[in-house]
Amino acid sequence: MNAQYDAIAEQYRRSKDAPLRRYVEAYTFMQLVGDVHGKRVLDLACGEGFYSRRIKELGAAEVVGVDVSPAMITLAEQQEQAAPLGIDYVCADVQALPELGSFDLIAAAYLLHYAPDERALLRMCVHIVRSLPAGGRFVALNENPDQAVGQYAGYEQYGFNKTVERPRRDGSKITYFMIADASLFEFHAYHFSRMTYERVFAVAGFRSSAWLPLQLDAAGVDAHGRDYWQEYLANPPIIGLECRV
């Protein structure tokens, strides 16, 4: 059970306004999500529903958002009540995902790296595979497993910083320090090597997996200049992921 987001739900929601979130994170993730028109979509680690809402607004037939944090689900439901889109939210741990049926697409912006060990990672992946038909897609944003251990620095201008326990190995704790609205909050994730991720994906039943680089929206260059993005994109802390069953 990962309860850390209960304390920071509102701060996390506001951090979505940062340029990085808009022009790199959301841009990359929505490219991965692709055409959702008429599809059944499961949004895992949905938080306060930022991507659930976008996916529903883009024409998905059905969207179910799942998050382990009751505070995040409350924020998501409040927004659903204020501006109903027909999204269902479920408070659950993906490691013990209840039976929700089969989905055309499963999306997860920041889920897998909250598994504290390989067995937990496998449990998440088994539930994801179980909820997809043959040929179904799982897309994600995730910790970049290839980030060099000496390069967990230099993100202050983007509103956060990041450290990792050393020696770094599978299960090493990563800490993010986020600056939003002049307040500081932190949360933790866990490192796994690319080899570990890929072994777990294969054991869970994914037939293929591909790590995909971050993409920058041209509007982000117009708004902030190309140089602004250089340091981040040269040392990406996160990465895209697409797996198929």
Ligand X SMILES: C[S@@+](CC[C@H](N)C(=O)[O-])C[C@H]1O[C@@H](n2cnc3c(N)ncnc32)[C@H](O)[C@@H]1O
> Cis omega (within 30 of 0) on the bond before 84?
no
Q: Inter-axis angle of helices 118-130 and 194-204, to 10 degrees?
A: 40
- The CB-of-194 to ligand X minimum distance in angstroms stands at 21
- The CB-of-96 to ligand X minimum distance in angstroms stands at 9
Q: Which is nearer to ligand X, 109 or 214 (CB)?
A: 109
Q: Which is nearer to ligand X, 36 or 109 (CB)?
A: 109
- The CB-of-15 to ligand X minimum distance in angstroms stands at 9
* Footprint of ligand X (CB under 6 A): 2, 5, 45-47, 50-51, 66-69, 72, 93-95, 109-111, 114
- The CB-of-243 to ligand X minimum distance in angstroms stands at 17
Q: Residues, the chain, total? A: 245
- Of the CA atoms within 13 Å of residue 243, those in its CB half-sphere come to 26
Spatial neighbors of 8 by CB under 8 A, at least 6 apart, are: 185, 187
- The CB-of-226 to ligand X minimum distance in angstroms stands at 25
Q: Which is nearer to ligand X, 98 or 150 (CB)?
A: 98
Q: Which is nearer to ligand X, 46 or 87 (CB)?
A: 46
Rounded CA-CA distance 98/84 in Å is: 24
Residue with the shortest CB distance to ligand X: 47
Spatial neighbors of 109 by CB under 8 A, at least 6 apart, are: 25, 29, 45, 47, 50, 51, 140, 141
Q: Which is nearer to ligand X, 189 or 245 (CB)?
A: 189
Spatial neighbors of 158 by CB under 8 A, at least 6 apart, are: 18, 19, 20, 232
CA distances from 9 to 67, 69, 163 (A): 12, 8, 21
Q: Which is nearer to ligand X, 67 or 217 (CB)?
A: 67
> Strands across the sheet with 183-190, in order?
160-164, 173-180, 183-190
- The CB-of-110 to ligand X minimum distance in angstroms stands at 4
